[in-house]
Each structure stands twice: as structure tokens, then as C-alpha cells.
């Protein structure tokens, strides 16, 4: 089954939405349940240039407290040019709820196509200033603004 994504905000709104983006701080207290050795082993797989998306995500899912959304956030922090965060707000902006690793791969491919279309520019004043992360921030901000 192939996922279908329909961009809810207008393409012309994406850059402005990304500029309005803000996000609350997240806690990482759940990682305490994992041994240092396990964290090192999992991160070695996730941070490897040779690991596929599936292998990197599955490795991260071995950690206590890490689900697909957290795994995607970790990957986006390590490789902001290759990965985007699978966030409920971004998915809402595309008319979806979270799914599995294969869904994430399709979501990632969709976001990469948007980023490669040059409709947004990297945000040099934020961490990971890549078009892919700008798309993510725009989708998140669009969803947040819908709840106001």
C-alpha cells in the first residue's frame, strides 16, 4: 500500500510558516532505562552513512522510550540533510496519522521532493539549516496554527 500525501497549506505559505515555527523543549528522561553500551551500539547503526532508513530506524526503536517519531527526530538531528521528523503536526498538515517504518520512508520521500522543488530556503539562524528541515518546520507550524 502506497501512502498518499496531500499538502494542506499552500506551497507559497511554507517559507512563512517555517519562519513562525517554534517548538517546546523536550525531555529525554526516558533514555535512563537504556545502558550506555546499548545507546552506543544503536547510535553507531543510526549514525552510519551506510545504514538504510529502515536499518537506522529499527536500531533506534530498540531503545526504551523511543518510538517512530522520536527515532525520526534523532535521525534528523544526526543527518538533517537526509531525514525529517515524523511529527504528528506535520502529518496532520498532510492529512495523516503516524504509521510504521515504511510509512516514514514514504513520508520522507514526499518531504524530500518538496524540499528539492526549491519552494523554501534553508533557515540559517536555526539548527540544521536545510530545506528538508524548513519543510518540517512549516508543516508543524501550519498544524499548530490550525488549533488556534
**Which domain covers residue 56, as residue numbers?**
28-146
> What pLDDT, in 10s, does the model give residues 59-91?
999 998 888 888 999 999 999 999 999 888 888
| Other Cβ atoms within 10 Å of 134 Cβ, number | 26
pLDDT at 19: 86
Average pLDDT along the chain: 87
Residue 20 is assigned to a structural domain of this protein: no
Residue 10 is assigned to a structural domain of this protein: no
Whether the per-residue pLDDT at 43 is higher than 60: the answer is yes
Residue 23 is assigned to a structural domain of this protein: no
- Compute the distance between CA of residue 39 and CA of residue 86 in angstroms, rounded to an integer: 21
pLDDT band at residue 145 under the 50/70/90 scheme: confident
pTM of the model: 0.62
Amino acid at each position: 500500500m502506497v501512502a498518499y500525501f496531500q499538502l494542506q497549506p499552500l506551497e507559497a505559505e511554507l517559507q512563512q510558516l517555517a519562519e513562525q515555527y517554534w517548538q517546546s523543549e523536550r525531555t529525554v528522561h526516558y533514555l535512563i532505562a537504556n545502558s550506555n553500551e546499548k545507546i552506543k551500539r544503536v547510535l553507531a547503526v543510526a549514525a552510519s552513512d551506510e545504514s538504510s532508513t529502515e536499518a537506522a530506524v529499527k536500531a533506534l526503536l530498540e531503545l526504551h522510550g523511543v518510538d517512530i517519531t522520536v527515532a525520526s527526530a534523532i535521525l534528523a538531528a544526526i543527518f538533517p540533510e537526509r531525514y525529517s521528523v515524523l511529527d504528528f503536526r506535520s502529518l496532520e498538515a498532510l492529512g495523516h496519522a503516524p504509521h510504521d517504518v515504511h510509512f516514514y520512508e514514504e513520508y520522507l520521500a514526499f518531504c524530500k521532493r518538496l524540499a528539492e522543488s526549491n519552494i523554501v530556503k534553508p533557515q540559517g539562524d536555526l539548527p540544521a539549516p536545510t530545506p528538508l528541515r524548513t519543510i518540517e518546520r512549516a508543516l508543524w507550524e501550519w498544524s499548530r496554527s490550525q488549533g488556534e
